[in-house]
Structure 1
Amino acid sequence: MERLPVVVAIPTKNEAENIATTVRSVIGHFAHVVVVDSDSTDDTRALAKAEGAEVLPYTWDGGYPKKKQWCLENVHPETDWVFFLDGDETPSPELLAEIRHIFHTPTGRSVRPAAFDIPLGYWFAGRRLRHGYTIVKRVLLDRTRCRFPEPDDLAAPGMGEQEGHYQPLADPVVRLRSPIEHQDMDPVRTWFERHNRYSDWEAWLERHPAVREQIRQAKTRQGRLFHRAPLKPLVSFAYAYGWKRGFLDGRAGLDYALAMSFYRWQIGLKARELAASGGRGAERGPN
């Protein structure tokens, strides 16, 4: 099978539970599969190598570029197209076919879009959600026409080496139909641990409106609208469980809607705490 002229970049840190499945899903389909690892203390690197991936070490220096932009600049730069996958994600067979169709263009004809947005097939608490959410990731990029924003958030806690919750800048962008499957095998407590950190970053942004606006501009249209919404915990629950029919996913749909509402409540509570303390304690936290 002909390999696609695309580099798969998989940023990791302690993804031993998932990484073999992720690498296995793309190896042989793409020109390069590279795991960019941040000092994992488990078997992430060994498992990735065993499946045929290249492994590159990455240590964040505390500034820009952060990890994904570093990948765009340093991971097989001779190949223009980069496909980002998290260490617990796999492209669906339909998505692989869709990407293959894009790059099997007539000789001499280039791919017109600068990037492709791809929907996420989301798993929560061990169940694939069919309703209740809308997650789209801009992860198939022409590195010569895309870059990640560099907002003034290096002093914020919660994100560390990761780019925040915003999209890389690109134009034009086309949305694909088929999903990436996000099937995290870690226990649900890790979801809450991650989102506890993320809420530190989001709360810091609430106290720094100029930076918050920089990030709002790098979000999808839906993200920009939600950025301005009042009563976010209630809006989040109503959107996920009602408007997006999360109730059709049974208990998992209810759990996910409640978890996202709780996440939004955390952000508001932490932002109010920062306001009351004059911003004390908002130092940069761990990754």
Structure 2
Amino acid sequence: MKASISVLVPVKNEEKNLPDCLRSLDWVDEIFVVDSHSKDRTCEIATQMGAEVVQFDYDGGWPKKKNWSIKNLPFKHDWILIVDADERISPKLKNDILAAIVSDTYQGYYIRWKFIFLDKWMKHCWSHGWMLRLFKKDLAEYEDLGMRGEGGWDNEVHENIKLDGESACLPGYMIHETNVSIERWLDKQNQFSTWNAKRRLEQLNEPIPSLKWFFSRNPLKRRRFLKALYIRMPLQPLIQFVYFYIIKFGFLDGLPGLYFCAFRAAHELNARIKIYEKKHLNSQEGKD
């Protein structure tokens, strides 16, 4: 018997990652692979492995791919699970999900990553990252942050899901393992830092959330409160490195852990420089 779950897998040119992703989902009843006109074998692989392929055409506005899919795909089950192509559902998480969907206590569940970098689990330095990925149909949608063309994305990357209901956290891990070179990974990080720079400029104009958010059971609220404080601190690249490598014992993740923490600090530096550049250019334009 297949589980009564509908899965959404957003993709574009994911022929390397998609097979492992879909194999980890062979226990669910329905899988939609939503593509953005891939030029590799992504669609062929998805069809061969039993998924239904749907094409998404982005017009540059809102909604983006995942939110469009949530609102428009004919899901036949009450529970929807979102899995990216470079993610896999672990056996433990599978059992947690199966237990969760038979309960009416919660309408959504947060899932955390087991992040693999240079073939090693970043067990210590990157052990956070709760994401709402399992939820009841018609009770959730992605927030619109007003971010459109940054990074060239037609897919929600940093946007979070808003849930109309109660949520909890599942203990099992979603394994995140991207089969790309460091060169390609750094290209994406450069795009992310551009996105982060623009987003933080907007966040700096917003008030800091109430202290109650720090004590909330909702991981998203806690993260929002801490982020509002963090973006106002000086020396952010140094803070990133000290926090992940020393305070979170990233040094126990070996040489890949050192590289990853250094890359995280570099990401912060890139974002800070881009923020400075934007502010400086705006001030110069104002003088002109």
Fold agreement, TM-score > 0.5: yes
Residue 185 in 1 paired to residue 183 in 2? no
Query: For residue 5 of structure 2, what is the amino acid of its counterpart?
Result: V
TM-aligned CA deviation for residue 53 of structure 1: 1.2
The alpha-carbon distance between structure 1 residues 246 and 100, as it changes in their structure 2 partners (threshold 3 A), is: same
The alpha-carbon distance between structure 1 residues 250 and 75, as it changes in their structure 2 partners (threshold 3 A), is: same
Question: Paired residue for 1:89?
Answer: 87
Question: Paired residue for 1:225?
Answer: 226
| Residues 238-276 of structure 1, C-alpha deviations (whole Å, 9 max, x = no match) | 121112111111101111111111111111001111111
The answer to whether the 8 Å contact 2:86/2:176 transfers is: yes
- Matching of residues 128-207 of structure 1 within 5 Å: 128-133=121-126, 134-154=128-148, 157-158=150-151, 160-170=153-163, 171-207=165-201
Distance in 2 (CA, whole Å) between partners of 1:158 and 1:4 is 36
The alpha-carbon distance between structure 1 residues 165 and 140, as it changes in their structure 2 partners (threshold 3 A), is: same
TM-aligned CA deviation for residue 88 of structure 1: 1.0
Residue 122 in 1 paired to residue 115 in 2? yes
- Secondary structure at the aligned position of 1:55 is classed as strand
- Secondary structure at the aligned position of 1:158 is classed as helix
Greater shift in the superposed pair: 217-226 or 35-44: 217-226
- Secondary structure at the aligned position of 2:54 is classed as strand
Question: Paired residue for 1:10?
Answer: 9
- Matching of residues 269-280 of structure 1 within 5 Å: 269-278=273-282
**Count of residues paired in the alignment:** 272
The alpha-carbon distance between structure 1 residues 72 and 210, as it changes in their structure 2 partners (threshold 3 A), is: farther
- Secondary structure at the aligned position of 2:114 is classed as strand
Under a length normalisation based on structure 2, what TM-score does the superposition of the two structures give? Answer: 0.87
Distance in 1 (CA, whole Å) between partners of 2:273 and 2:59 is 31
- Matching of residues 256-267 of structure 1 within 5 Å: 256-267=260-271
TM-aligned CA deviation for residue 104 of structure 1: 3.6
The answer to whether the 8 Å contact 2:112/2:173 transfers is: yes
Residue 99 in 1 paired to residue 97 in 2? yes
| Residues 204-246 of structure 1, C-alpha deviations (whole Å, 9 max, x = no match) | 123334786799x994413530342212212211121112111
Query: For residue 83 of structure 2, what is the amino acid of its counterpart?
Result: L
- Matching of residues 4-43 of structure 1 within 5 Å: 4-27=3-26, 29-43=27-41
Under a length normalisation based on structure 1, what TM-score does the superposition of the two structures give? Answer: 0.87
Distance in 1 (CA, whole Å) between partners of 2:283 and 2:114 is 37
Distance in 2 (CA, whole Å) between partners of 1:50 and 1:279 is 55
TM-aligned CA deviation for residue 150 of structure 1: 1.4
Q: Please give the root-mean-square deviation of Cα atoms over the aligned residues, in Å.
A: 2.4
- Secondary structure at the aligned position of 1:208 is classed as helix
The answer to whether the 8 Å contact 2:108/2:135 transfers is: yes
TM-aligned CA deviation for residue 278 of structure 1: 1.4
Question: Paired residue for 1:75?
Answer: 73
Structure 2 residue runs of 5 or longer lacking an equivalent are: 214-218
Identical residues among aligned pairs (%): 26
Query: For residue 17 of structure 1, what is the amino acid of its counterpart?
Result: K
